[in-house]
């Protein structure tokens, strides 16, 4: 095979593409009940949007970006010139930064205005080591709510996420909802300092990466997969013990609202998430079956400083994103069948060459009536057309031959019962519709 899809990417063949479509339809249905509207932003942005938005010291920006240069920029680089910032583009590793940029650019949340709720779906790109549930091009569905600071907004977003997953058929018992608060500018700097000191004091028992992070991004150490690091960090001070009174109260209200709504969750004081824009509430949903180590099917949180990074007025924000490929693994593990591809309802067969033009016209009439109609374009014999009809999954065959043409009718055969009858086109349409 001379060409294959690039490592870490996967073609969405029709069945999978249909599942992606079905999951987006479910998202549209659930999210619209909460007042969300669809938005789309470019697949690439100026690199700086991600650097400022997600944070230079994150793995996503520091190690996993796909840069995108136009030919023009490549020529400038080859000639020894640095490309302009506006020509230095990158494929989006996530869409929160792009949506925040768009909200500021179009002034979608004017000061004192109502909050805006947006959702999106599309491909994201991260140069990670591919493994089960981890791709370099993957598909996310995400939501962002801009302009709402109250903890009820956090609880609503989390409940909507669980509503969405349960609606897809992922059993509630197989999902763990983890929540934490990351604090804010008032309390996090001091906590970072405490963790930094803890890391330096325990450097002997930690991997070089964790020690290196002490200065750049100490909280990321909590995400280290090395079991020795995990054991050492188990004794590190917890953010929940360092929250300022405002953050502690915000977090307590979020938990109270979730509890009152009957939503089970676990407090996860070491959940820090991999993106630097978070303030206060963060959350993640992990599944216990079918995913191995890449078990987070969705996650998100609050980012009250992000819009100001893009030159907007200080505007609170929060949201989440879910991973399509991981949702599919979770659905497979739960035994939820993929939606069946829409099959033709009726196959139009021509008895001989003379009937082909009439068969072509009949297929057109059936489609105009809203039916899914298929016909042969390979000049096959009637016998082969009938075989093809069987294989196509259609329930009916409409047969046209010299007798039917002479009578201005067609023969309609029901494939399951083998019953057939002579009908007009209109009668056939009604019979087929009647069986839907
Ligand atoms: P994230 O946790 O980086 O958050 O990604 C969200 C979800 O995308 C993950 O839980 C996972 O299901 C899926 N995902 C991430 N990376 C991969 C990958 N390499 N392969 C397959 N699936 C993957 C965000 O992206 C934030 N923008 C979420 C957010 C929105 N926070 C606030 N608003």
Q: Is 98 in the pocket of ligand 1 (CB under 6 A)?
A: no
- Report the atom number in ligand 1 closest to the C-alpha of 128: 19
Pocket test for ligand 1, best of 326, 328, 329 (most atoms within 8 A of CB): 326
pLDDT at 52: 93
Q: What is the pLDDT of residues 395-412, one digit of tens each?
A: 999 999 999 999 999 999
Question: Which residue's CA lies nearest to atom 8 of ligand 1?
Answer: 323
Residue 231: predicted pLDDT: 93
Task: Determine the topology of domain 14-173+274-333 in CATH.
Answer: BirA Bifunctional Protein; domain 2 (3.30.930)
How many helices, marked H, and strands, marked E, lie in the chain?
16, 16
pLDDT, tens only, 198-231: 999 999 999 998 999 898 889 989 988 899 999 9
Distance 138 CA to ligand 1 centre (A): 9
Q: How far is the CA of 94 from the centre of ligand 1 (A)?
A: 7
Q: What is the pTM for the complete model shown?
A: 0.94
Please check the confidence at residue 54 and state whether its pLDDT lies above 80. yes
- For residue 88, pLDDT over 80 is answered with yes
Where does the pLDDT of residue 282 fall: very low under 50, low under 70, confident under 90, or very high at 90 and above? Answer: very high
Indicate if ligand 1 lies below 6 Å from the C-beta of 323.
yes
319 lines ligand 1 (CB under 6 A): yes
Ligand 1 pocket, residue 140 CB under 6 Å: yes
135 in contact with ligand 1, CB cutoff 6 A: yes
Nearest C-alpha to atom 22 of ligand 1 is from which residue? Answer: 323
- Quick one: fold of 346-434? Rossmann fold (3.40.50)
Does position 126 have pLDDT exceeding 90, yes or no?
A: yes
pLDDT at 248 over 80: yes
- Please work out whether the CB of residue 274 comes within 6 Å of at least one atom of ligand 1: yes
pLDDT value, residue 156: 98
Pocket flag, ligand 1, residue 50 (CB < 6 Å) = no
Q: Where are the domains of the chain?
A: 14-173+274-333, 346-434
Distances (CA, A) of 185 to 191, 246, 280, 300: 10, 11, 10, 19
**Total count of residues recorded for the chain:** 436
Pick the residue whose CA is nearest to atom 9 on ligand 1.
Answer: 298
Cα 207–Cα 273–Cα 62 angle in degrees, nearest 5: 65
53 pocket-lining for ligand 1 (C-beta < 6 Å):
no
Contact 383, 393 (CB under 8 A): no
What gap in Å lies between CA 280 and CA 390, rounded to an integer?
A: 58
In tens, the pLDDT along 151-196 reads 999 999 999 999 999 999 999 999 999 999 999 999 999 999 999 9
Same fold, 14-173+274-333 and 346-434: no
Q: What is the DSSP string of 1-12?
A: ----PPTT----
Q: Which of 97, 118, 139 is nearest to 38 (CA)?
A: 118
Q: Are 385 and 347 in contact (CB under 8 A)?
A: yes
For residue 45, give the nearest of 134, 105, 2, 117 by alpha carbon.
Answer: 105
Q: Report CA(381)–ligand 1 centroid distance (Å).
A: 52
């Amino acid at each position: 095979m001379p060409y294959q899809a690039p490592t870490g990417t996967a073609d969405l063949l029709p069945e999978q593409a249909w599942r992606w479509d079905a999951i987006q339809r479910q998202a549209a249905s659930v999210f619209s009940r909460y007042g969300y509207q669809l938005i789309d932003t470019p697949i690439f942005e100026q690199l700086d949007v991600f650097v400022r938005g997600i944070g230079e010291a994150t793995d996503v920006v520091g190690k996993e970006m796909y840069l995108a240069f136009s030919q023009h920029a490549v020529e400038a680089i080859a000639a020894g010139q640095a490309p302009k910032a506006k020509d230095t583009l990158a494929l989006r590793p996530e869409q929160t930064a792009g949506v925040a940029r768009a909200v500021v650019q179009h002034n979608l949340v004017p000061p004192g205005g109502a909050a805006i709720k947006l959702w999106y779906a599309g491909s994201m790109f991260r140069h990670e080591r591919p493994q089960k549930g981890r791709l370099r091009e993957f598909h996310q569905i995400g939501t962002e709510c801009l302009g709402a600071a109250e903890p009820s907004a956090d609880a609503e977003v989390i409940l909507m996420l669980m509503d969405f997953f349960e609606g897809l058929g992922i059993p509630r018992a197989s999902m763990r909802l983890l929540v934490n608060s990351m604090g804010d500018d008032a309390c996090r700097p001091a906590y970072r300092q405490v963790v930094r000191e803890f890391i330096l004091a325990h450097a002997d028992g930690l991997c070089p990466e964790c020690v290196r992070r002490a200065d750049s991004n100490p909280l990321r150490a909590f995400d280290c997969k090395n079991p020795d690091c995990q054991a050492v960090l188990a004794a590190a001070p917890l953010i929940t013990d360092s929250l300022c009174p405002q953050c502690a109260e915000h977090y307590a209200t979020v938990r109270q609202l979730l509890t009152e709504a009957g939503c089970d969750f676990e407090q996860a004081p070491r959940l820090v998430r991999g993106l630097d824009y978070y303030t206060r509430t963060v959350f993640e949903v992990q599944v216990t079956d079918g995913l191995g180590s890449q078990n987070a099917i969705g996650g998100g949180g609050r980012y009250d400083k992000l819009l100001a990074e893009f030159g907007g007025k200080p505007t609170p924000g929060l949201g989440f994103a879910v991973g399509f490929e991981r949702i599919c693994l979770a659905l497979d593990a739960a035994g939820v069948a993929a939606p069946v591809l829409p099959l033709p309802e009726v196959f139009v067969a021509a008895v001989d060459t003379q009937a082909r033009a009439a068969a072509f016209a009949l297929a057109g009439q059936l489609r105009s009536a809203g039916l899914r109609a298929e016909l042969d374009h390979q000049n096959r014999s009637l016998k082969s057309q009938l075989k093809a009809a069987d294989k196509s999954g259609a329930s009916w065959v409409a047969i046209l031959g010299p007798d039917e043409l002479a009578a201005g009718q067609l023969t309609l055969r029901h494939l399951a019962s083998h019953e057939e009858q002579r009908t007009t086109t209109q009668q056939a349409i009604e019979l087929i519709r009647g069986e839907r």
